[in-house]
Amino acid sequence: MKFKPARFIRNLLFGLKVQPLRDLEARLGYRFTNSALLVEALTHRSSLKETGKERNSSYERLEFLGDAVLGLVVSRYLFKNFPNKDEGELTKIKATLVSEANLSRKAKLISLGRFLYLSSDEEKSGGKSRHSILSDSYEAILGAIFLDGGIIEAEKFIQSHLLKNIKETSEDKSLHNYKGELLEFLQAKAEGIPKYDILEEEGPDHQKIFTVGVFSRNRKLGTGSGASKKEAEQNAAKMALEGLDKNSG
């Protein structure tokens, strides 16, 4: 067979791109039929400016889907396996399991940051270890698994990665979920469900700061800031709880 340098180089480059994905798939415990979905789940929007791809090529749409799938699967699992817990208790456990802190921790266990596609500026600013980026990409991967293999494969992934040692996770103080605690507090007082609104966004994409307000019955309970919407919401809920504790005392 005649040696063809162009084909050899093309196959070599293809292999260099695919091998890291195979490594990540082994860590995930799932092999993609459509690898493009996995690539999309790893693509941060900051990298699009350097590659010239469209905005919808980043992981944000898959993250939106993965968040919904995660909520459904975790809710159904808790409902089925904890029949003696009421709505407030189930909500609190779920909030901890799907929190940014827990998802980013799970992402670090599989070294997800190594495989992310970021702009050079985002990478230099520590994007590959940033909690918000890791948790968002983790949810995007879940969305990709759902599209690639369906709800059964997504459920298998969630059960093997997130639903083990639920008791230890829910009691871990480092994963304290102020949003879940605030929800439980307001429901106990018949004050309804807290609503979170973005009040301000500052800074470039790779150093964005969000300010969020939390409201109940059109009354602002607290504000919080953070490098992600989820972090800002947690800080707003924490401030709200501190104020409610003072008022009740």
Q: Please say if 205 is a catalytic residue.
A: no
How far lies 88's CA from each of 40, 62, 80, 95, 193, in Å?
36, 29, 15, 11, 12
pLDDT digits (tens, 9 = 90+) for 210-238: 999 999 988 999 999 988 888 899 899 98
What's the whole-number mean pLDDT along residues 135-141? 96
Largest Cα–Cα distance of the chain, in whole Å? 85
Q: Please say if 67 is a catalytic residue.
A: yes
Full-model pTM: 0.72
Q: Which two tokens stand for residue 136?
A: 């968002």
Q: Among 4-8, 31-35, 135-139, 156-160, whose mean pLDDT is lowest?
A: 4-8
d(CA 63, CA 67): 6
- At 214 the three-state DSSP class reads strand
What pLDDT sits at residue 246? Answer: 57
Evaluate whether 61 touches 146 at the Cβ level (below 8 Å).
Answer: no
Choosing from 40, 63, 67, 100, the catalytic residue is: 67
Average pLDDT taken over every residue of the chain: 85
pLDDT digits (tens, 9 = 90+) for 110-120: 999 999 988 88
CB neighbours of 90 closer than 8 A, spacing ≥ 6? 75, 78, 79, 82
Evaluate whether 48 touches 57 at the Cβ level (below 8 Å).
Answer: yes
Choosing from 63, 100, 122, 139, the catalytic residue is: 139
The interaxial angle of helices 229-248 and 178-188, nearest 10 deg, is 40
